Structure 1
C-alpha cells in the first residue's frame, strides 16, 4: 500500500516552500541547504548561509555595534556637560594603618666626664744655700725645705720656698713667689724655734712651719747674704746683710734689732785666693779652701783642696810627679801624720780623670768624695773615716758635667746631692738612690 503524500510543503528549518514528490521522504532545502526527512528524523545542522546572506548579516552586526558605540559616546559627552546625575563618588582610600613603633626608653645623662688630671708638676731645685732639714708634717722623718723654681709660660720663672715630704718627696706646701730680680741668690731658709725664717732680696720673713704661711716680715737695708743661728740661741736668727747692717731676727715676735758683730761661726769669710768655690754655700758645716799646704807633706801627693770639720781634714789632690792621678788623704785632729791616703778609687788609675776632685764631705764615720772617669761620667765613693776602706762606689744620678756641683749634704742616714736643677737623695749605707726633688 502506497505512503500518503504529506501535506507539508515548506522547509521545517527555514520555512521555504518546496514541492513534495510521491514516495520521496528525504529532501534538501534549496534555500538554506538543510536536509530533512518527512518521516520525522531530526534535521541535520544547516550549512553556512549563502554568501550574500552572510554578508548581509555581518553588515547588520557591524552597523549595530557602531551605533552602540556612537550612542555611548554621545551619552558620555552629555553626562559630562550636564554634570551627570548624582553618582556616588568613590570613597577616598583610607591611609594605611599606623604601624606601632618601639619607643626607646629615655636616655638619662650620666655624670659629666672628669676633667683630665694635670700632669706632674715640673720643678727645679734652685737652692744655692743650705736647705732646711726639719720634720714639717710630724711623721718622724726629716722633710726638706728649700728654694725651687717653676716655669710659668709667658710669665717667666717664679721662685719660691717649698716643703717636700722626706718619705715620698712630694710637695707639702709652697710659699708665695719670692720678690726681686735675682731671687735665686737671695732666697734662703732656716728652721728655728718651730718656725721658718726666709730671706728675700730686701726682706726677711717669718713662716709657719706646717703651712708656709707668712706670719711677719722685717725690711732689710740691702740684700741678705746669710742666715745663721748663733751658738746656744734657741729663738733668734742672725741675718748677714751685704751693707753690714746686720740684724738679729726674733722668731717669737717677728721683730729685729741691730747686730753688727757676727756671732761665732756665722761670719762669711771674705773672698780670697783661698776661696774654694764662690758658689759653695757659706752655711755648709764643712769648710773648704784652696791650699797646697796640708798638715804634713805626703811624698808624691800634690794637695789642691782642704775640707775641715770636727777637727778632721780631708785633702784632695793629684799625684806628682808623673801622670796625674786623683788622690785622697785624711788627717785626724791634732795629728800631722795622715790616718790614710790612697788613689781616690780602686778602679784602674788610667780610667780616672787626671784632675783633683773638687767635692768632698766628712761625717762622724765616713768621708765622701765625688770624682770623674775619663770616659763614663761621675762617681760618688764612700770610705771609712778611720781606715779608708771603700764602703761603696756608685755612679752619680747625672752624667753631665759637675761644674754646677759644689757641696754634698749628709745627715740622717742620707746623702743629698744637688746638681743640674735636681736634688738627688741616696741611702748613706748603700749608695742607692731613694728619691729626689726636681727629677723626672
Structure 2
C-alpha cells in the first residue's frame, strides 16, 4: 500500500523549508546539511562542519568549549570510577628555596703587635790598660773576665763589664759615675770576694756576681793604681796622684789614710830601664830594658830581660849583620844559657828585624810575641828548659793598630789584649778560645 506523501515542508533539524517531491522520501537539508528520511526515524545528524571562512561567534565558541570540557570531565570521572578510588593527587613538588644559613660570625684575629726591631748588636771594644780580673763566678771551673770596655753605638761609653769565661757573653755592666778620662782612671781588682773599681775621683765597692754597688769612698785626686798588700785578705791600697793614698776596706767600704805604699805596691818611676811604658805595673813578671844579660852570647844583642822563678828570659837581635829576632833562657845561678837561637823556626828573613818585646815565663814554658814582616804578630810557646816549640799561632787582627804590649797567663789560658780586642788562647794547644771586642 502506497504511503502518503508527508506534507511536511520543513527540515526536522533546522526547520528550514524545502519542497517535497513525489515518490521521494530521503532528503538533505540545503541549509544545515542534515539528512533525514520522511518515512523513518530521524537519524542523529553529524556535527555540521564550521564554515572555514565564517567568523566564529564568541558566545557559540564559549558554549562549545564548555560542553567539550563537561564531556571530558565526565569521561575522566567514569574512568576513575571504573578503576577504583583515584589516588590522592599529589601536587607536583616545587623546589623549596634553600635558606642559606646565616653567615658564620668569624671573630677578628687577635691583635698581635709587631715585635720591636731587634736591638742593634753592641759594639764593644776592650779598653783595659791594667790587669783584668779573672775569677770563677759560677763555679764551672772557668774564670770569668772583668775589665774596662768601651761601647760604640751612637757614641762612646766607658764601662766596666763582666763576661762569661766559656760563652764570652756579657753578664753585667756598670758605668763609672764621674770623670771624662775613664780610660786611664778606671781600674778593677778583686779582694775579699768583692770587686773594687776606681774612677776619676772615687773608689767603689761592687758585688762580683752582679756588679751591684755596695759602697763608695771619694778620693782627693785621680787614682793611679790599685794593689793588694801582701798577706792582706780584705784591703786594697789605692795609690792617688796627689800622694794622698788610702787603704780601702772591702768588708766595711771605708778607707783610712795610708801614705806609705805596702811592699810591692809602689809604682816604679820611669827610667831608662822601663821595659815598656804601656806595660802595666800590676803584671807579676818583672821586665827591664837592659843590654847586660847573665853572660854574653856572641852575636846576641840583648834588649829586654824577663825574670820569674829564678829564670831569666833574654830577648834581643843578632848583631852585627842583618837583624834577626833572638831569644835565650838562663836558669837560676848559671851564666851559661840553657838554650838560645832565632825566636821561631822558618826563614828568619821573613821576621820583622826588631827584637821581640812582649813575653812571659811559667814554671815549664816561655811565651813570646814576635812580629812577621807581613801578616801581623804571632804567639809561640817554647819549652822552658829545652826551647822545643810546642805551637806557634797567629794573633788575629794584629796587622793594624799597635802591637800587644803584654800577655796575661791565668790557669790554662793566655790573654792577649791589643788595640780593641782581648784574644783568649788555650795554653796547651794554642787554639783561639774566644775574643772580647771586634772579631
Taking structure 2 as the reference length, the TM-score comes to 0.77
- How far apart in 2 are the matches of 1:194 and 1:13? 147
Checking the alignment, whether the CA contact within 8 Å between 2:425 and 2:434 is kept in structure 1 is yes
Q: Could you list the per-position Cα deviations for residues 368-426 of structure 1 after superposition, in whole angstroms to 9, with x for gaps in the alignment?
A: 01123333443211001111111111222435336152110112122112234332322
Q: Which secondary structure does the structure 2 equivalent of 1:184 belong to?
A: helix
Q: CA contact under 8 A between 1:423 and 1:439: conserved in structure 2?
A: no
Give deviations 1:167-225, integer Å, cap 9, x for gaps.
Answer: 44444443343421011211111222333322111112233344433333332222111
User: Does residue 228 of the first structure (1) align with residue 227 of the second (2)?
Assistant: yes
CA apart distance, 1:137: 4.1
Q: What does the per-residue CA deviation read over 1:219-246, in whole Å, with 9 as the maximum and x for residues that have no partner?
A: 2222111112233334432222222332
Distance 1:279 1:110 in 2: 58
Aligned to 1:214: 213
CA gap of 1:15–1:163, structure 2 versus 1, over 3 A, is closer
Is 1:130 equivalent to 2:131 in the alignment?
A: yes
Q: Is residue 37–residue 43 contact of structure 1 (8 Å, CA) maintained in 2?
A: no
Is the 2:402–2:419 Cα contact (8 Å) retained in structure 1?
A: no
Equivalent residues in 2 for 1:291-330 (5 A)?
A: 291-330=290-329
1:10 paired with 2:27, answer no
Question: Is residue 270 from structure 1 mapped to residue 266 from structure 2 by the alignment?
Answer: no
Gaps of 5+ in 2: 62-95
Q: From the superposition, tell whether residues 405 and 178 of structure 1 become closer, same or farther in structure 2 (CA, over 3 Å).
A: farther
Alignment correspondent of 1:340: 339
The verdict on how the C-alpha distance between 1:29 and 1:262 changes in structure 2, with shifts beyond 3 A counting, is closer
Q: Structure 1 regions of 5+ residues with no counterpart?
A: 66-94
CA contact (8 A) 1:3 1:23 kept: no
Structure 2 counterparts to residues 19-418 of structure 1, below 5 A: 19-29=19-29, 31-32=31-32, 36-40=36-40, 42=43, 58=55, 61=57, 99-101=100-102, 122-138=123-139, 141-151=142-152, 153-154=153-154, 156-401=155-400, 403-418=402-417
Aligned partner of 2:425 in structure 1 is: 426
* Alpha-carbon distance between aligned partners in 1 of 2:253 and 2:58, rounded to the nearest angstrom: 136
SS of the equivalent of 1:218 reads strand
Q: What RMSD, in angstroms, separates the aligned Cα atoms of the two structures?
A: 3.8
Cα distance in 2, alignment partners of residues 285 and 347 from structure 1: 32
Give 1:8 shift: 2.0
**Cα offsets for 1:290-328 (capped at 9, x unmatched):** 444433332222333332333333222332333332221
Offset of residue 100 of structure 1 = 4.3
Sort the Cα spacing of 1:383 and 1:6 in 2 relative to 1 into closer, same or farther, 3 A. Answer: same
| 1:31 positional shift | 4.8
1:98 to 1:204, Cα distance in 2 relative to 1, 3 A: same
Change in 2 beyond 3 A, CA 1:345/1:10: same
Gap change, CA 1:181 and 1:35, over 3 Å in 2: same
Counterpart for residue 73 of structure 1: none
Residues 158 and 178 of structure 1 are in contact (CA less than 8 Å); yes or no, is this contact kept in structure 2?
no
Shift of 1:96: 7.5
Relative distance call for 1:49 and 1:36 in structure 2 (3 A) is farther
Q: Secondary structure at the match of 2:184?
A: helix
User: Aligned partners of 1:35 and 1:222: how far apart in 2?
Assistant: 158
Residue 86 (structure 1) aligns with = none
Structure 2 residue matching 1:338: 3-state secondary structure: coil
3-state SS in 1 of match to 2:349 = helix
* TM-score, length-scaled by structure 1: 0.77
Cα separation, partners in 2 of 1:38 and 1:422, compared to 1, 3 Å: same
SS at match of 1:354: coil
Aligned residues: 404
